[in-house]
Structure 1
Amino acid sequence: MTVQTGTRRAVSGLFLLNGLMVGSWAPKLPALMQRLDISEAVAGLIVLVLGLGSITIMPVFGALTARRGSAHAVRLAAWAMMPTLLLISLAPSLWTVIAAVFLFGGTIGGMDVAMNANAVAVERARRRAIMSSCHGFWSLGGLVGAGLGGMGITWLGEVGHALAVTLVVAAGLAVVLPRVLRDAPAARDGAQVPLRLPRTPLPYVIGLMALCSMIPEGAILDWAAVYLQREMGASLAVAGWGFAACAGTMAVMRFLGDALRHRLGAVSTLRLSALIAIMGLGAAGLASSPATAILGFGLAGIGIANMVPIAFSAAGNVPGLASGVGLSVVTTMGYSGILLAPGSIGWLAERMSFSSIYLGLAALLLVPLLMSPLARTADFTPLGDEGAPAT
């Protein structure tokens, strides 16, 4: 029991440190724009490169997880990730910054696949859900990184802030990595897991479910404040509460989500979450005042919070498929929703109201609602029913 508790704390620590790195990136972009004297368009290209790095490297670490186990893959990704924020700060030109950002995005994404696979392994060993709380620790790390990042850059400078984050992450990794669950690779008897995409359609369908769950999250992150200002007449100070309400309720519900999923089951929890998210986005889209819209975004956060963690658990337990391979497909498809949402919604916003867009996003969540039976692979049977899990 002590070992299992230690492995759960270790994988939670990995999510916290990964979130801290991502959150620390948020206030760095304005500093980069000032140092390199670049426009918003070029800064947007840098952000795109970060996403491309993640999407490119995620499948590589999915295959590595299948061949060598998630513990090996997460160590490689985590130590490779650790200095990347400092490399970005020290890069002297636009092209070296772009290269460093690609490496940052790739190692962040690779670690994301591996640590989610390790969380699945811990779930199997404990026979209990932990994925939602792991994502809660990621949200907490992101909040700390973004919240302290601006002050850190102001007080310490761009390089000083990056160095401080690097030292904190290095110390954290030194503590948690030795305690990470050492799971067995999917390759048995010397056989190699082929470096190809899975041929079974199930992980792609679960990936579609994750994609539809993450697009609304990206839409609230990037456009809620614009909606509240442009169509609701809210001040800038009030407009910021749109995403804050969503992020706050998401964080709380992710820490509560494992107990809820254990009590209700993954399928029922996903259905309930999708219904709540649909009601929240619908309320935001139909709102007649900023306060009502903010409440709607908060309600949407309650629903969205546990949809992706359940999808990730389901992907990591697809029968006959290594967890790293399934997760690489679902994480790549899911996170592409956050990458695709900003530009696509910006294009739509020039042709229709944000109110209509958020109502459309509520309708989009009918997809994971209807696909909720696929989440049954995220549930666990009592020990003895199917034998001890392979971890």
Structure 2
Amino acid sequence: MTSNAPVRARAGHPVSKSGARRGATLAFAAQGVSVAAVYTTVPAVTEHLKLAPLLTTALLVAVALMAGGGSFLGLAAIRRAGPVATMRGAVLTAAVALVLIGWAPDEATVICAYILFGLAVGALDVGANARAAAIERAYGRSIFGSFYTAWSVGGVVAALLTAGAARLEWPVGVGLSVQAGIVSLLAVCIREHALPTSSAGPSDTVAQPPPGRRLWIRLIPFGLVLLVVYVVDSTVSAWSSVYLRQTLAASLTVAPLAYAAYQAGTVAGRAATDRLVRRFGAAVVVRTAALMVAGALAAMAAAPSWPFAVLAAGAVGLGASVLAPLCLASAARLRPAASEAVLARLNLFNYVGVITGGAVSGLLGSTGQFRLAYAAPAVLAVLLLAAARHFLPDPVTPRVAGTSGWRRFRRATG
């Protein structure tokens, strides 16, 4: 006897792949808004509180360090409460941190606010990526890029809001409060949906077997790519507004546009990622993206004025956008039964890259050498060509017995 009632998981939540995908997409969008809100308001917060350049650098490095710790807090929260509850709690905490940063009356308060933000973003990072990996397995095809597209759209919206708030001469606290409201609204809209039991995979369960040593060896190529990607990302994200303001003499209204262009480039790149991977294979996509990033960073370093830097930042985003999703998706598939643990540890490369890029760029910028800060990562981007061979052309579709590799690839790419 069949029933037309909605299928529900044992926890009482409706089973829906599309619903789960919507919830994860909202979490990624909230992360994009919150991260962009913090990075694009660095010049305004610095000028408002009259922070020393080295303290500003230390604050952004502290965010990355705390995010590393928050990643493991998120892993513990996932095992206790599940990925969706972890995402929702982390998003709401990030919103609180944005308000505290905007209205901080002194250095001590703003330091605590940035630390809180780093912890929240780290927990959200591992929660959202673990959930995305489980959803991708449920779909049986590459969809990781779509989640990061939402991240980038959120970043563009937040950067434009920062520019608009500066244009209207709003206090930085008002602008960040508006963005915190958007983040909170997204958190409220995240709903719990279970994945089909046959497809969700064991990553949705609580207890997972510990990953072995051989797995970490297999993770190294992906980790190195992720490290370089986040060196590039932190250099552009955290310091492009300051670069335009200090080196290229842009106004506070114009300064956030480089970040907006960077995120707009990532929207375009990530929207096409899944389609490009299915058509050409991940290795080809990674090689092309690496060359594009190297050339665009060189152009950004040599920009004679802020409009050229804004265009170059967009090109950097277009190339860099595909690399992180492909790394995370590939790593999660190495051990589906322990994807949360794998992603939490792989995120260490992420935060090392953020710390390295943010700290080096900040130190160079404080001595007036921002151009060198953008030229150096261009060399690192070229090195990614060597790691491209580790990205398989069809990592999602299961192997079918008696089917040749070429036929499997043709079947996956349609």
TM-score where L is the length of structure 1: 0.78
User: How far 1:225 sits from its partner (Å)?
Assistant: 7.8
Residue correspondence of structure 1 range 238-387 to structure 2 within 5 A: 245-282=261-298, 297-319=313-335, 322-345=338-361, 360-376=376-392, 379-382=395-398
Q: Where does residue 102 of structure 1 map in the other structure?
A: 115
Q: 1:185–1:110: structure 2 CA closer, same or farther, 3 Å change rule?
A: farther
Unmatched segments (≥5 aa) in structure 1: 387-391
Q: Where does residue 125 of structure 1 map in the other structure?
A: 138
Contact 2:215 2:334 in 1 (8 A): no
1:187 and 1:136 map into 2 onto residues whose CA distance is 24
Q: Where does residue 98 of structure 2 map in the other structure?
A: 85
Residue correspondence of structure 1 range 214-229 to structure 2 within 5 A: 214-221=230-237, 222=239, 226=243
Q: 1:108–1:270: structure 2 CA closer, same or farther, 3 Å change rule?
A: same
Contact 1:246 1:301 in 2 (8 A): yes
Select 2:185's aligned residue among 157, 171, 176. Answer: 171
Contact 2:269 2:322 in 1 (8 A): yes
Greater alpha carbon shift after TM alignment, 164-173 vs 331-340: 164-173
1:23 and 1:298 map into 2 onto residues whose CA distance is 15
Contact 1:61 1:324 in 2 (8 A): no
User: How far 1:116 sits from its partner (Å)?
Assistant: 1.1
AA in 1 matched with 2:279? R
Select 1:203's aligned residue among 219, 231, 236. Answer: 219
Q: 1:274–1:66: structure 2 CA closer, same or farther, 3 Å change rule?
A: farther
SS at 2:141 equivalent: coil
2:80 and 2:297 map into 1 onto residues whose CA distance is 41
AA in 2 matched with 1:137? A
SS at 2:392 equivalent: helix
Q: Structure 1, residues 186-240: CA drift from partner, whole Å, max 9, x if none?
A: 497x85656999963222432111111222333344369859996xxx6637998
The alignment's C-alpha RMSD in Å is 4.2
Residue correspondence of structure 1 range 126-145 to structure 2 within 5 A: 126-145=139-158
User: How far 1:270 sits from its partner (Å)?
Assistant: 1.4
SS at 1:60 equivalent: helix
Q: Where does residue 126 of structure 2 map in the other structure?
A: 113
1:8 has 2:21 as partner: yes
User: How far 1:146 sits from its partner (Å)?
Assistant: 2.8
1:273 and 1:187 map into 2 onto residues whose CA distance is 32
User: How far 1:151 sits from its partner (Å)?
Assistant: 4.7
Q: 1:347–1:87: structure 2 CA closer, same or farther, 3 Å change rule?
A: closer
Q: 1:378–1:10: structure 2 CA closer, same or farther, 3 Å change rule?
A: farther
Q: 1:176–1:228: structure 2 CA closer, same or farther, 3 Å change rule?
A: closer
2:265 and 2:286 map into 1 onto residues whose CA distance is 16
1:61 has 2:108 as partner: no
Unmatched segments (≥5 aa) in structure 2: 1-14, 403-414
Contact 1:85 1:162 in 2 (8 A): yes
Contact 1:27 1:146 in 2 (8 A): yes
User: How far 1:131 sits from its partner (Å)?
Assistant: 1.9
AA in 2 matched with 1:124? R
Q: 1:333–1:145: structure 2 CA closer, same or farther, 3 Å change rule?
A: same
Give percent identity, aligned residues only: 25
Q: Where does residue 410 of structure 2 map in the other structure?
A: none
Q: Where does residue 24 of structure 1 map in the other structure?
A: 37
Q: Structure 1, residues 277-336: CA drift from partner, whole Å, max 9, x if none?
A: 234345556789988776655444322120111111112212376111221222231233
Contact 2:211 2:338 in 1 (8 A): no
Contact 2:161 2:175 in 1 (8 A): no
SS at 1:105 equivalent: helix
TM-score where L is the length of structure 2: 0.74
Greater alpha carbon shift after TM alignment, 57-66 vs 282-291: 282-291
Contact 2:156 2:260 in 1 (8 A): no
